[in-house]
Each structure stands twice: as C-alpha cells, then as structure tokens.
C-alpha cells in the first residue's frame, strides 16, 4: 500500500490509498502556533467569522520568553487574549511552558499515527514518534483553527537506513548532519524521510527527536521514525487520548533508499553558513570561539544536558568563552535540578537560562556581535541566524559544544585532556 507518510495521509483523508503528488484534504489532530506565528494567525482567523475547534488548538509562547521588549510583549499579549476570548485550554503560560516542540511532546499531543501541523518549520520534530508532522504558514493555521482540516500534497518518501554501532560521543545530531552533508540542504526537498536500521532502533528518544527535527534542513516535508516500545513506554500516562501506530507496508515504494554505516560517523560540525557544510570536529581545532550554546528544540533535552554535564564536571568554561545553557522545558529544568546538573553548569561558570528559543533565532539571551563565533547545539547556521550578519555559527552535538566551551576552540570531546 504505502510508506508511513502515505498511510497516515490516506487514513486522515478517508482514503484506502494515496499516491505521491496527489492532493488530499485531511483531518488534522492538532495545530500549534507560537508567540511569533500566532499573531498573524489570529488576525486571519478573526476574518473568517468562525468558531474555533478548541480541542485541536495549541498555543505556546516560546520564542521571546520572557518578553524582551514592547513588541514581543504585545505579541505575547495577543496570544493570551486569544486564548481567553475563545476559551483555548491548551495554552501554556510562562512558568508552565518551554520550547514549543518539546512541550507538544511532553504534554502528550504527539503520538504515533497522528497528523499534526504547526506554524513553525521544525514541527517535523514529532515524526520521531511515528507521526506525520509538518510546518505550515500562519494563514493555514488559521484555517485549521476553523475547519480542523487542511489540504496536503502527498510527498514522495526517502528511506534512510543506518546500521552498526556508534562511536563514543557520536549522537543523533551527528547522524543527521552526516546525512545532510551527503544529500545537501535540498536533497529531500518536499519529501518525507523515513529512518530504519539497528542504529536508529538503539537510539534514545532524545536522539531520534534531534534527527526528525533537522530533516527540514534537508528540505524535507516530514521526518518519520517507526514507533516502537521506547515510544509506547514514554507515552504511558502522558499521551492525550488514544492513538494507533502506523507503519509502512511491505510493498511501499520509495523515491530513494540510502544506507549509512554508523562506525563511519564522527563527531561532526556544520560550518557556516549551511547545515550541509560539515567537517569533523577534530579538523576544526584551530577555530576559536566566543560563545557556546547548549539548548533549543534540537538539543535541549535532559539527555543532552547530561552529556554536557559529564564533560563539564570539575572543569571551568574557558576565560574567553560564554557558555549559555537553556533547558528545553520546565520539566527538563526540574529534572536537571534534581540530578545536580544545574549546579555542575554553574560551578563551571556557565549561564543557565529558563526555557526559551531566544538566541537560537537571534532574538535575545545570547545574540552575537560582529565577528563573534558560536558553537551551538541548535539547527541552523545561516548568515545572521544568531545575531550580527558578520558573526559565525557552527552546529554540533552537546558533547562537542561542552568540550569546546572548556578549551575555547572547537574540540572533539574525545581529545579533551
């Protein structure tokens, strides 16, 4: 019959089968907007003169949390007022929130077989749980507010197979950077990417989330990993409502089948100004840094913080470096407190922030000045992404970020003395 993407879109559109390139109208399980993309969605929705389908709407302020200026305060207020006006219960106020994609997962909106859209390009993150999830525009989000459904063009699907054992300090971030470095930032343009192989099966959910999160950096419409017992266990006492896992059929057809060997993947770094511009971390030891950033929807989970804390324990951040640590949610922050990770970061002279997108998009809480260099666990390193157009952002896994913060230059954690 079809790939996971095709099977979900067929199910949600009431069809037995769909084909790549076909346009379908499908029922959406949830639609999410944040404090930036929400405002235009609210304005469009008001013009529709419709009642919102409240149970499907999720509102999460995260990009400028806490508000950095009057303009961002007005954006946040608009979301707050919309939630109150229409009685939207799925609104997560400052103090009970986090980065939108982490909150969608933690609060049980994400589950296998679901069709989820969000007015944020990294909505593809939820594919780590076997969902079809993709980013949309604010106008489209407003339509889903009103109708609960949306049109989709069924994508072709690439099959990615990763086999073998990973080396020390090689993480999900390195797997996806390795793939993007191979196929390029348009290598999966408007396609779904499905991930298979024993390497993927052994990964933690955190690493799978990282992989799905960055599929959009290859141009993908969605990134999907077949759900397994790790997913089902995580969702126990967490997921909202029931769900039905969806898998590809044996006769599913793929546009491409790519196979990678885990033992060939090293701790990698994406150099400016594209996620595909990769190099081995050990090859960039001459690159001095001004800032190291650990966090974001890509690598701000408790597993990421644990890896960094292991490296930082008993060490200090280099005198010429600012290390900024941003847990992805309140839940992550509290767990890090319980495990003593926050104390390790503070003793190393890192700055620890509450959950926010902040510096990832060059908003605040770590914006770069001209000619400054940052090693970051985020997902994009375009020109001016984290600040001044003449700054430089290198993308890497949490271990590389932490090791680099200690030495003051890009460092393979295995070389840390």
DSSP secondary structure of 264-326: G---EEEPTT-TT-EEEGGGGTT-B-SEEEEEHHHH-SHHHHHHHHHHHTT----TT-EEEEE
pLDDT, position 388: 97
Regions of the chain short of the pLDDT cut 70: none
In the Cβ-directed half-sphere of 352, how many Cα atoms lie within 13 Å? 22
| Residue 409 β-bridge partners | 288
C-beta atoms surrounding 410 within 10 Å: 26
Percent of residues, the chain, with pLDDT higher than 70? 100
pLDDT, position 213: 98
166 lies in the same domain as 228? yes
Instruction: Give pLDDT tens digits for 16-39.
Output: 999 999 999 999 999 999 999 999
Enclosing domain of residue 181: 4-260
Instruction: Give pLDDT tens digits for 202-227.
Output: 999 999 999 999 999 999 999 999 99
* Residue ending a domain, choose from 218, 238, 260: 260
Using CA atoms, how far apart are residues 281 and 411, in angstroms rounded to an integer?
6
49 lies in the same domain as 163? yes
236 lies in the same domain as 283? no
- For the domain that residue 312 is a member of, what is the CATH number? 3.30.499.10
Query: In whole angstroms, how far apart are CA 90 and each of 97, 103, 106, 372?
Result: 11, 11, 13, 39
Using CA atoms, how far apart are residues 146 and 402, in angstroms rounded to an integer?
45
232 lies in the same domain as 283? no
Contact 149, 142 (CB under 8 A): no
Look at strands 222-224 and 191-196 and give their pairing. Answer: parallel
276 lies in the same domain as 166? no
Residue 185 inside a domain? The answer is yes
Number of domains in the chain: 2
pLDDT, position 1: 77
* Residue ending a domain, choose from 260, 275, 305: 260
Residue 304 inside a domain? The answer is yes
Residue 303 inside a domain? The answer is yes
* Residue ending a domain, choose from 260, 285, 316: 260
182 lies in the same domain as 40? yes
pLDDT, position 355: 96
> Which residue in 327, 335, 329 sits closest to 295, CA to CA?
327
pLDDT, position 417: 72
255 lies in the same domain as 271? no
Helical (H) or strand (E) element with 184: none
330 lies in the same domain as 354? yes
Classify burial at 257, counting beta carbons within 10 Å of its beta carbon; exposed 0-12, middle 13-18, buried 19 or more.
Answer: exposed
Residue 417 inside a domain? The answer is no
Residue 365 inside a domain? The answer is yes
């Amino acid at each position: 019959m079809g790939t996971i993407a095709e099977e979900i879109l067929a199910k949600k559109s009431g069809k037995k089968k769909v084909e790549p390139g076909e346009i379908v109208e499908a029922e959406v399980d949830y639609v999410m907007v944040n404090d930036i993309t929400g405002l235009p969605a609210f304005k469009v929705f008001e013009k529709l003169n419709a009642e919102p389908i409240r149970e499907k709407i999720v509102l999460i302020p995260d990009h400028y949390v806490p508000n950095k200026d009057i303009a961002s305060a007005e954006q946040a207020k608009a979301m707050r007022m919309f939630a109150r006006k229409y009685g939207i219960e799925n609104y997560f106020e400052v103090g009970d929130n986090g980065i939108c994609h982490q909150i969608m997962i933690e609060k049980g909106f994400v589950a296998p077989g679901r069709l989820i859209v969000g007015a944020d390009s990294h909505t593809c993150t939820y594919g780590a749980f076997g969902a079809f999830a993709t980013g949309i525009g604010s106008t489209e989000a407003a339509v889903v507010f009103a109708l609960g459904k949306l049109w989709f063009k069924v994508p072709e699907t690439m099959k990615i197979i990763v086999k073998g054992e990973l080396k020390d300090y090689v993480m999900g971030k390195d797997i996806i950077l390795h793939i993007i470095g191979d196929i390029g930032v348009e290598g999966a343009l408007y396609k779904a990417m499905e991930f298979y192989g024993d390497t993927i099966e052994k990964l933690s959910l955190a690493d799978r989330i990282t992989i799905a999160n960055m599929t959009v950096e290859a141009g993908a419409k969605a990134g999907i990993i077949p759900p397994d017992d790790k997913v089902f266990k995580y969702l126990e006492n967490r997921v909202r409502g029931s769900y039905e896992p969806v898998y590809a059929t044996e006769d599913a057809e793929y546009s491409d089948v790519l196979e990678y060997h885990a033992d060939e993947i090293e701790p990698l770094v994406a150099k400016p100004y594209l996620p595909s511009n990769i190099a081995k971390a050990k090859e960039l030891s001459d690159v001095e840094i001004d800032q190291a950033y650990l966090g974001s929807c890509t690598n701000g989970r408790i597993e990421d913080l644990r890896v960094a804390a292991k490296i930082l324990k008993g060490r200090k951040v280099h005198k010429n470096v600012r290390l900024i640590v941003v847990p992805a949610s309140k839940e992550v922050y509290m767990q890090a407190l319980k495990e003593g990770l926050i104390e390790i970061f503070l003793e190393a002279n890192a700055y620890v922030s509450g959950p926010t997108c902040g510096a990832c998009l060059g908003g605040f809480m770590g914006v770069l000045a001209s000619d400054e260099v940052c090693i970051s666990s985020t997902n994009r390193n375009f020109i001016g992404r984290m600040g001044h157009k003449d700054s430089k952002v290198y993308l890497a896994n949490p271990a590389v970020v932490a090791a680099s913060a200690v030495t003051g230059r890009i460092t393979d954690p295995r070389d840390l003395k």
